[in-house]
């Protein structure tokens, strides 16, 4: 089994990838390409309860606790750019412990210039997805404390 890179390693890798692009259009195109590789979420998970509020597009996100305490996050959207944003978030947060998620706000998203690339509505949606991921982490952390 391959070792999962640390959050810091994943953030650094994103910074390096985005540093390769001079033009904002190239960054957007890259995000769209990442979205094309996002595995689809099974239709059974595309429910009202799994929708992320605050997104312009339809976004569904689910999480489950894996043995060892890591949180497996899966998500999907009906918009290809948003799928790319989901891919970025999953690279940062998928299969991390609740504590790792809560200890690491996504500062790298600002560093790579996403706020300049996205409309205010898309930006709000991105941070709604981050909030949803953090709420999963908080819920799993609380459940472990209660167990």
Residues acting as catalytic residues:
55
| DSSP string covering 114-146 | HHHHS-HHHHHHHHHHHHHHHHHHHHHHHHHHH
Non-local (6+) Cβ contacts of 106 within 8 A are 89, 92, 130
The secondary structure element, H or E, covering residue 59 is: strand 59-65
Tokens standing for residue 27: 């960054």
């Amino acid at each position: 089994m391959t070792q999962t890179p640390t959050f810091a390693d994943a953030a650094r890798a994103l910074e390096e990838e985005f540093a390769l692009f001079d033009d904002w259009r190239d960054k957007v195109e890259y995000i769209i390409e990442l979205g094309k590789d996002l595995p689809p979420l099974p239709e059974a998970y595309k429910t009202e309860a799994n929708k992320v509020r605050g997104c312009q597009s339809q976004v569904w996100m689910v999480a489950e606790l894996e043995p060892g305490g890591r949180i497996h996050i899966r998500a999907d959207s009906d918009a290809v750019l948003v799928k790319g944003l989901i891919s970025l978030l999953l690279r940062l947060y998928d299969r991390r412990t609740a504590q790792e998620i809560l200890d690491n706000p996504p500062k790298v998203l600002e560093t790579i210039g996403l706020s300049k690339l996205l409309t205010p509505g898309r930006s709000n949606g991105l941070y709604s997805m981050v909030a949803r991921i953090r709420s999963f982490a908080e819920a799993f952390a609380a459940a472990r404390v209660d167990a």
